[in-house]
Structure 1
Amino acid sequence: MVNFTVDEIRVMMDKKRNIRNMSVIAHVDHGKSTLTDSLVSKAGIIASAKAGETRFTDTRKDEQERCITIKSTAISMYFELEDKDMVFITNPDQRDKGEKGFLINLIDSPGHVDFSSEVTAALRVTDGALVVVDCVSGVCVQTETVLRQAIAERIKPVLFMNKMDRALLELQLEQEDLYQTFQRIVENVNVIIATYSDDSGPMGEVRVDPSRGSVGFGSGLHGWAFTLKQFAEMYAEKFKIDVVKLMNRQAQLWGESFFNTNTKKWAKQKDDDNKRSFNLYVLDPIYKVFDAIMNYKKDQVTSLLTKLNIELKGDDKDKDGKALLKVVMRTWLPAGEALLQMIAIHLPSPVVAQKYRMEMLYEGPHDDEAAIGVKNCDPNAPLMMYISKMVPTSDKGRFYAFGRVFSGKVATGMKARIMGPNFVPGKKEDLYEKAIQRTILMMGRYVEAIEDVPSGNICGLVGVDQFLVKTGTITTFKDAHNMRVMKFSVSPVVRVAVEPKNPADLPKLVEGLKRLAKSDPMVQCIIEESGEHIIAGAGELHLEICLKDLEEDHACIPIKKSDPVVSYRETVSEESDQMCLSKSPNKHNRLFMKAVPMPDGLPEDIDKGEVNPRDDFKSRARYLGEKYDYDVTEARKIWCFGPDGTGPNILIDCTKGVQYLNEIKDSVVAGFQWATKEGVLSEENLRGVRFNIYDVTLHADAIHRGGGQIIPTTRRCLYACILTAQPRLMEPVYLCEVQCPEVAVGGIYGVLNRRRGHVFEEMQVAGTPMFVVKAYLPVNESFGFTADLRSNTGGQAFPQCVFDHWQVLPGDPTEPNTRPYNVVQETRKRKGLKEGLPDLTQNIISPLKSIIRHSRELEVLSLGCSEELATYSYILVDLLGRFQSRSLRQLHLASVKDDPNNYLILDLDHTLFQPFHVLQVLSIDYDHVNDNLLDIFTKPSNGGLKRFVIHVHGITKNHPNTSNQAWSLFSQHNPHCELRITLIHSYDAVEVLHSDILRPSMPLTHLKALFCEQVNLQTLNLLSVWYYNTLRSVWWVDSFPGALPVEAVDEEQPDPLVMAAWRCTQLEELVLIGYACYDADLVAIARLRGPKLKRFDVTEEDIINFLEREGYIDLQMEVSQALKRNWQPLSTDKLHDVIHSPLVGDSDEFILPVVLQDQDW
């Protein structure tokens, strides 16, 4: 018979000091659900005889079949505490005066590591935790994991040592051995608590202590339990001592406290004639009951029952053995009573807990209305509710949004703001304003409708599921920030691909995957670019359950699934061996970066949240400087973490005095997030990489440096950084804990060795024949591990694997036939990516090397239009010098950079050119031109260049400018050499062309400026002064409205090209597009040069004249007469698209033929 009604629970909801929100957490199979039955039974929901067998909170059919909890389940129960127990609740915020009733909102959570995301979801909405430990197995790996999670969420624990019946009946431990087992477990739990919490912290003292009653002992299966408080009460009554006084001396029932029954004296040390008080006063009576009943000593049983005031009823009188033992123990020490006292006395109420939990739960300012409401657990404040998970309803495809009301009140029909995890205050993304359809109370496998729920309580909402994926915040405060997103202790590292058996069912599969993603806090459902549907989970069991749910509940169709595969991470092992430059598609912006591996431990610190984006940047920089030896100034300029804004990679601004840098920050960050989420090797997440931005060159006009230009540029630059920093692959590794008898240990080693695992600890569980072996096992080798282990140990070994860390997979992923290379290729194939790694050389370099080595006499090599080969100039020039130096006459290294975003600046050592004695034509990028290079061609053995072509794509601040003296010597030793300089998209270099690039002694014959966006009039003026006897050709080409627009032309000053036509005796070619000039100047140029001007191109658009059409006809006629041939301006209609607009055409299509002209010899 249920002891309460929904109305009674609703009344209790307002008495927030008498509410306890708690989770039951433990390692798998330590007896959580069985123990929970005792409380459910005490509340009258199930019969007491069925407690321990029903597992009421295992609501799913597969949970009952497998005997493990898969989903966390909530249940609300009402209890009354006796007056004698109420006196132990001394904090006024822990109870309402005069109120004996308590509302316990209990969540039973899974113990298997694969479902630990369910534990995280349960902990977020509770304030206390009942930590259950099997006293035979002791503290296991998952005990530590869930306890660590609880402390991180500021959840206060109490400890319950379960399966005491096994210790007495199976292991038949002596009293002292059992005490030592208990003591060891308490110590282990306290060590974990002390590691992750601080007694001086906001929660106060968190450690558990049997003498204070925060530790329970018992058997969930048999339904009995006790704390030292209950035994103290028994002896207080027996010896007529005030129970509170005795409780103050409670320490005498635990620890190093011994009593001599003969002398009636206490001692602190063990002697032959005294006995430990815990054994004497607590264990002795229990052992006597066990001994009398299990050894069928009927007289003793009758006597004991009389002493214990136990009267057997009905059928119980006929029972004996274990059945009688269960009845006696459950009547004498009912587990429900012991648990209730521990929970009510030692776990915090929402009023107490929210005071210290608010600051780590709420992302916004800690003094705003929402934060204060949460801190005070105020039902009259604005609503703040966190949804921690979705619970499927009986209505297919719909979910209850399960969560905790932290402040305010949530009611059926009220309008609220529903904020997803990606919501940013002030923006509308991931934000909905909708009415709450219904408010419900979760009661295990049932739900009950309830009108409203005030702060401090747990409930479910109907109708919210369509606006949230998994989690979110619900509020009525318009300026509210989100509640902090949950951090899971495991990662979804195991993946499986799914497809419907019948292709027509694909829409059902897609819908089913959406529902599956909602129903599980951690599962990821991904659609690859290849169209493949991927489900990612924590382990084999998690995936098995997810696939079963998908097939039977969510999609309801037969499904084909692939073999499970593992998620990897990409990283780097060295600093980038060169500075990486990437140009934007419009050629106007450049980024210079390098990649550096993070020091060991930093990625883990970021994962744990010890270093995170929300930290104060100064204290974070100080921490990084002290612990990881980072430069504090640089560490202060961390732009972001990634992927997803919190991942273990960082982007650092190492620039100095760059203009407009902050304006592109968002775009660079977006590119960084993209690159770290989809790495260059196989589109897996990056891990442990620090990217440094060293320099940025940006266009002055904001329209030319928008996101469309900067984001892909950043991504390509980051990819180049990774490829030049010895990329490596990382694999996930499980910490595997195996329990087995000693005879089976050898079999464990064999299985682990075959699977690349290694054992790092082996120890015997004290007081038992069991051994615990701990090992690291790569997740990729874990499939079928459990079955393999059991077959090799005769079914005696029980493994538990929990994700522990990432480790570098030995080998180079860029070297064929290595393990990482094969993994990368398999992953790329599975994801539908292009075969082979995106090598910087794009597979051109290898065949070319072969040609250079094996050709008999190579005379011409042109890399002029190959971006990738220009990048590898160093290697190729070195090979040419060794194999082809006696025959090579033409070498074209200059690149048009048709894909400039992958361009890498390399230092091309000048000494590489020494072997070339017959070289006549050299095309080279200005990046490599310096005095040392010029000096090489002044040597008698090298002097003889006929054409020297320099391509300028940009100029860096630290470029070693050439000197006039070096050019003078060069000209003397190469008297017949043409010097051709072409500027391509180099709007920064064109500004300093006259001061930093050109020198008076240069033998300049050809100058071309292509799409540089401005005219440098100082340069044009110098042409006729410095190069009057060498200059033969000038091109100035740009898109309309032109580099020299109409409004920039000065009527008073003659065009500098008129002066060039007058002074430069060799001038024979002028191409002016996007260069405005007067008709009179054009006529003057034609008359000064006459027929010697073999090419004279000017566009209609650029001619400025005052006489309308008649004047135009005169111009054409006069220029034709002067040149002695038919001449007319270029028709605007026939020009290349890029001349009309850089957004329409591809400038490289125009530039490429011009560049190739320079190579035509």
Structure 2
Amino acid sequence: MSREVVDNAELRSGTEKKHPQQLLGSAPALLNSPWAAKGPLRKHQLQEHLQMLKKIKFFNAFGIFSRFSPSPGVQEAALGHKEWTQCPADCTAFCTHPAAEKFPRGVGIKSTPVTIVLPDTKGKSFLFNIIDTPGHVNFSDEVTAGLRISDGVVLFIDAAEGVMLNTERLIKHAVQERLAVTVCINKIDRLILELKLPPTDAYYKLRHIVDEVNGLISMYSTDENLVLSPLLGNVCFSSSQYSICFTLGSFAKIYADTYGDINYQEFAKRLWGDIYFNPKTVGLVVLQVVGDVDTTLPRTLDELGIHLTKEELKLNIRPLLRLVCKKFFGEFTGFVDMCVQHIPSPKVGAKTKIEHTYTGGVDSDLGEAMSECDPDGPLMCHTTKMYSTDDGVQFHAFGRVLSGTIHAGQPVKVLGENYTLEDEEDSQICTVGRLWISVARYHIEVNRVPAGNWVLIEGVDQPIVKTATVTEPRGNEEAQIFRPLKFNTTSVIKIAVEPVNPSELPKMLDGLRKVNKSYPSLTTKVEESGEHVILGTGELYLDCVMHDLRKMYSEIDIKVADPVVTFCETVVETSSLKCFAETPNKKNKITMIAEPLEKGLAEDIENEVVQITWNRKKLGEFFQTKYDWDLLAARSIWAFGPDATGPNILVDDTLPSEVDKSLLGSVKDSIVQGFQWGTREGPLCDELIRNVKFKILDAVIAQEPLHRGGGQIIPTARRVVYSAFLMATPRLMEPYYFVEVQAPADCVSAVYTVLARRRGHVTQDAPIPGSPLYTIKAFIPAIDSFGFETDLRTHTQGQAFSLSVFHHWQIVPGDPLDKSIVIRPLEPQPAPHLAREFMIKTRRRKGLSEDVSISKFFDDPMLLELAKQDVVLNYPM
């Protein structure tokens, strides 16, 4: 949010952004209403706004919410904004949300950036950049993209439901991103109108929510000063539906303005805690509106200094109550005060942001320019999200200018996620087209955008897949990229797609490329069988992806296979014998064994608690201290696999007395490549290997460089990885979801029944304080979660609501290589047969042979060795 202090400044919407065609059919009345048709900006208004963009300080906030009700973050801002006061109460979400899919689904699925001017309690105006993100856990990737370019978080929590599954995840994510956290407790009307709580109980309910949030913050943050309290001004209360938003300070100022001789700042300190005052007058407003309106309401309103016309008094109950509350509470100045006081401006927060997200040095000239948020420095812009045009043909890159000023028509260099100073292949020179500032459903075109602002960029979308770094094409050779987004969930649900008409395959491929750009955590790939696969976070997520693919990006009929899940491959024992493989030229030989990793180590690698880029001493100290590794092994780690954050480790366990270390070091890169190739596609069903440590025990390497090239070593290293893996009692792992269910007390037993039928188990159930609902927490296998929500609502008559998110990997019961198990079609398999069933069906789907063939992974000398040691194998030759 830009922090230009301009009295009575006002931002007016520009030309209306067109909607996709499907919205026209779903909400024609909304589009045709008077407030939906805005005229173009007047020249002096646009100039005034542009002057605000480039002056003084900037201030970024980020509205997020834990329940997927319509856009409270932007609504809170919009309802207090003069330009949208004509918007009907029930249509505010439509005013402030551009995604057409929101309305038939009743849930936001795309983040919405808004630039808006709002006044604080003192009448000073501030330019806010707000991004409103979806509240459903399936779309947490949109939250990640928004957090990356923000300086702070406004977390919306439902007053009746309290802290839910996604609330905790968002708090953890914000703390990890080192962002300032504030809270807005929304829907406080539900405490009165639905739960019918007396004032004292409502206070305890609200205090319980604040205490829960503080407990979560203290769990994930080491900053003891990060405390939320209404007394500190970083908690506000609101009701979007009834136009209520206040902090203790703004509420106290209402009394100060009424009675005059009151120090409202001191009075605000007495509005929270075990200090009570008689709220009789305000209580009468609610009671009178609901009760006898005609006779006593005018008298009550006179006492409050609220005057309504005869036409306004004839309104229905809800609009009348909203109007009264709006006149009593006024503009949402408390919300602005909270953001201004507790979320740093981009200039203040730039150094922390750069240290956390930039891969280059902060001490360089470029790093200092970004740390100072210098609009005259070299251009550096970080794009985190792609928004498609209305026709779905092009994309506009949305990001934040960290330093310099970006101009329309300017040539820029776009650096992809794989760009490095040594390898510049993933970069391209582009020319910036037009630039816009987003105001939800409207885009304001501008000629330039200085550092600290958010911007929509035309013309740079072609080389960008997910995120990118935009910089100057010349004179900025030291520029490095910003870190790719690290999501707080994993895409484990998979569907295969193909066009109904095979001749339309090119259209579908083009559509797949576009949805891959549109959804931050979506993954698309092609299996060896030729089928095109989409991986997403859940059923709703993939349903939205398929809607966009069919209706927006390809406009063809597409067939979808039944959803499945990704598996992982692991081992539960150490290899039963030393496994070796020879290169095709018979001049090199590598020997390895495999064994399980220590518990928790794979998660530490994935969460970057430990990094392979550390020096050997630091890496060794970590493994010695936390996992009791010996000094030799701890300092002999070669790589993680299949990438730098992969959950497998390659260790050089050879001795200098037995192996020529210089020759081994000369082929290290080739062995690492073979190891990472092998762990990327395991031998059981071409799925990722997980939680396995591979040890190199011996290596015979040819003296001549010609005989130890990558073509010889890489496939050999992969084969020995596979053979060591197969000798270590391999098993399959499946993803498990963490499920949170809210249901009335009489429905709890039905929830247990539905979970038990899907191999799920409950870990906790407890009542929600101040509510008639219970919360049930459970784990359920992802492969058994399809249709779970529908099944749950059927068994509870629609009274239960559930959220599920990936939590961990767990070994599937049974031996996947047990050939004595016969898989019968169309029959549910008992638990010990599941691993075999999953492996065979996955291999069939990928076009592989039905069983693992050892001749593919074992050399002839290795097979002879197995025969000598009388090792019994379940694998076909």
Tell me the TM-score normalised to structure 1 length.
Answer: 0.68
2:165 aligned with 1:151, yes or no? no
**Given the alignment, which residue of 67, 70, 74 partners 1:36?**
74
The aligned counterpart of 2:334 is 338
Closer, same or farther: CA 681–448 of 1 in aligned 2, 3 Å: same
**1:310–1:331 Cα contact (<8 Å) kept:** yes
Matches within 5 A, 1:978-997: none
The aligned counterpart of 2:27 is none
Aligned partner of 1:253: which letter?
A: L
**2:495–2:563 Cα contact (<8 Å) kept:** yes
The aligned counterpart of 1:53 is 91
**1:723–1:840 Cα contact (<8 Å) kept:** no
Aligned partner of 2:783: which letter?
A: N
Rounded to whole Å, the distance in 2 between the matches of 1:212 and 1:170 is 29
2:207 aligned with 1:183, yes or no? yes
The aligned counterpart of 1:73 is 112
Rounded to whole Å, the distance in 2 between the matches of 1:620 and 1:242 is 61
2:53 aligned with 1:10, yes or no? no
2:838 aligned with 1:798, yes or no? no
Quote how far apart the aligned CAs of 1:102 are: 1.5
Rounded to whole Å, the distance in 2 between the matches of 1:705 and 1:161 is 65
Secondary structure in structure 1 of the residue aligned to 2:82:
coil
Rounded to whole Å, the distance in 2 between the matches of 1:115 and 1:67 is 14
Quote how far apart the aligned CAs of 1:305 are: 2.0
For structure 2, the residue ranges without an aligned partner over 5 or more in a row are 1-9, 14-44, 822-832
The aligned counterpart of 1:172 is 196
Quote how far apart the aligned CAs of 1:181 are: 0.8
Quote how far apart the aligned CAs of 1:877 are: 9.8
Closer, same or farther: CA 876–527 of 1 in aligned 2, 3 Å: same
Aligned partner of 2:71: which letter?
A: S
Quote how far apart the aligned CAs of 1:216 are: 1.0
Rounded to whole Å, the distance in 2 between the matches of 1:222 and 1:763 is 31
**2:151–2:344 Cα contact (<8 Å) kept:** yes
Closer, same or farther: CA 146–284 of 1 in aligned 2, 3 Å: farther
Closer, same or farther: CA 158–60 of 1 in aligned 2, 3 Å: same
Deviation track 1:467-494 (CA, whole Å, cap 9, x = no partner) reads 1111111122211121111111111101
Matches within 5 A, 1:912-923: none
**Please, what is the CA RMSD of the aligned residues?**
2.3
Deviation track 1:561-598 (CA, whole Å, cap 9, x = no partner) reads 10000011111111222222122222222222222211
Matches within 5 A, 1:582-597: 582-597=581-596
The aligned counterpart of 1:830 is 845
**Given the alignment, which residue of 871, 892, 896 partners 2:865?**
871
Aligned partner of 2:604: which letter?
A: D
Larger deviation: 70-79 or 697-706? 697-706
Matches within 5 A, 1:322-333: 322-333=318-329
Aligned partner of 1:225: which letter?
A: C
Rounded to whole Å, the distance in 2 between the matches of 1:375 and 1:314 is 57
Rounded to whole Å, the distance in 1 between the matches of 2:872 and 2:458 is 72
Deviation track 1:895-942 (CA, whole Å, cap 9, x = no partner) reads xxxxxxx9xxxxxxxxxxxxxxxxxxxxxxxxxxxxxxxxxxxxxxxx
Secondary structure in structure 2 of the residue aligned to 1:468:
coil
2:775 aligned with 1:772, yes or no? yes
2:168 aligned with 1:141, yes or no? no
Quote how far apart the aligned CAs of 1:242 are: 6.3
Matches within 5 A, 1:707-786: 707-786=710-789
The aligned counterpart of 1:811 is 814
Quote how far apart the aligned CAs of 1:52 are: 5.2
The aligned counterpart of 1:109 is 133
The aligned counterpart of 1:196 is 220
Rounded to whole Å, the distance in 2 between the matches of 1:240 and 1:619 is 64
Secondary structure in structure 1 of the residue aligned to 2:270:
helix
Return the index of the structure with the highest Cα Rg.
1
Aligned partner of 1:463: which letter?
A: G
Rounded to whole Å, the distance in 2 between the matches of 1:335 and 1:672 is 61
Matches within 5 A, 1:589-738: 589-657=588-656, 658-738=661-741
Aligned partner of 1:230: which letter?
A: S
**1:26–1:32 Cα contact (<8 Å) kept:** no
The aligned counterpart of 2:444 is 448
Secondary structure in structure 1 of the residue aligned to 2:84:
coil
Quote how far apart the aligned CAs of 1:615 are: 4.1
Quote how far apart the aligned CAs of 1:876 are: 4.6
Quote how far apart the aligned CAs of 1:867 are: 4.3
Closer, same or farther: CA 48–185 of 1 in aligned 2, 3 Å: farther
Quote how far apart the aligned CAs of 1:715 are: 0.9
Quote how far apart the aligned CAs of 1:676 are: 1.6
The aligned counterpart of 1:550 is 549
Aligned partner of 2:508: which letter?
A: L
Among all aligned residue pairs of Structure 1 and Structure 2, give the percentage whose two residues are the same amino acid.
Answer: 37
2:232 aligned with 1:212, yes or no? yes
Aligned partner of 2:125: which letter?
A: G
**1:79–1:103 Cα contact (<8 Å) kept:** yes
Closer, same or farther: CA 308–877 of 1 in aligned 2, 3 Å: closer
Rounded to whole Å, the distance in 2 between the matches of 1:424 and 1:434 is 18
Rounded to whole Å, the distance in 1 between the matches of 2:816 and 2:371 is 51
Closer, same or farther: CA 688–287 of 1 in aligned 2, 3 Å: farther
Aligned partner of 2:479: which letter?
A: A
Rounded to whole Å, the distance in 1 between the matches of 2:681 and 2:343 is 45
**1:27–1:142 Cα contact (<8 Å) kept:** yes
**1:645–1:673 Cα contact (<8 Å) kept:** no
Secondary structure in structure 1 of the residue aligned to 2:60:
strand
Rounded to whole Å, the distance in 1 between the matches of 2:730 and 2:319 is 64
Matches within 5 A, 1:296-335: 296=292, 300-313=296-309, 315-319=311-315, 321-334=317-330
Rounded to whole Å, the distance in 1 between the matches of 2:636 and 2:453 is 42
The aligned counterpart of 2:271 is 253
Secondary structure in structure 2 of the residue aligned to 1:231:
helix
**Given the alignment, which residue of 449, 468, 475 partners 2:471?**
475
Tell me the TM-score normalised to structure 2 length.
Answer: 0.89
Deviation track 1:847-898 (CA, whole Å, cap 9, x = no partner) reads xxxxxxxxxxxxxxxxxx954540322355999xxxxxxxxxxxxxxxxxxx
2:229 aligned with 1:228, yes or no? no
Rounded to whole Å, the distance in 1 between the matches of 2:872 and 2:193 is 81
Deviation track 1:228-258 (CA, whole Å, cap 9, x = no partner) reads 0112223444565564xx52564332123x3
Rounded to whole Å, the distance in 2 between the matches of 1:424 and 1:132 is 39
Deviation track 1:582-637 (CA, whole Å, cap 9, x = no partner) reads 22222222222222211111222222221223445433432322222222442233
Closer, same or farther: CA 232–54 of 1 in aligned 2, 3 Å: closer
Closer, same or farther: CA 792–335 of 1 in aligned 2, 3 Å: farther
Secondary structure in structure 2 of the residue aligned to 1:591:
strand
Rounded to whole Å, the distance in 2 between the matches of 1:335 and 1:189 is 27
Secondary structure in structure 1 of the residue aligned to 2:645:
coil
The aligned counterpart of 1:535 is 534
Closer, same or farther: CA 878–695 of 1 in aligned 2, 3 Å: closer
Aligned partner of 1:570: which letter?
A: E
Deviation track 1:502-527 (CA, whole Å, cap 9, x = no partner) reads 11111111111111111110111111
Quote how far apart the aligned CAs of 1:188 are: 1.1
**2:649–2:693 Cα contact (<8 Å) kept:** yes
Quote how far apart the aligned CAs of 1:433 are: 2.4
Secondary structure in structure 1 of the residue aligned to 2:59:
strand
Aligned partner of 1:870: which letter?
A: L
Closer, same or farther: CA 284–494 of 1 in aligned 2, 3 Å: farther
Deviation track 1:751-770 (CA, whole Å, cap 9, x = no partner) reads 00000000000000112111
Aligned partner of 1:42: which letter?
A: G
The aligned counterpart of 1:1100 is none
For structure 1, the residue ranges without an aligned partner over 5 or more in a row are 86-99, 259-276, 844-864, 880-901, 903-1161
Rounded to whole Å, the distance in 1 between the matches of 2:840 and 2:96 is 46
Rounded to whole Å, the distance in 2 between the matches of 1:375 and 1:52 is 43
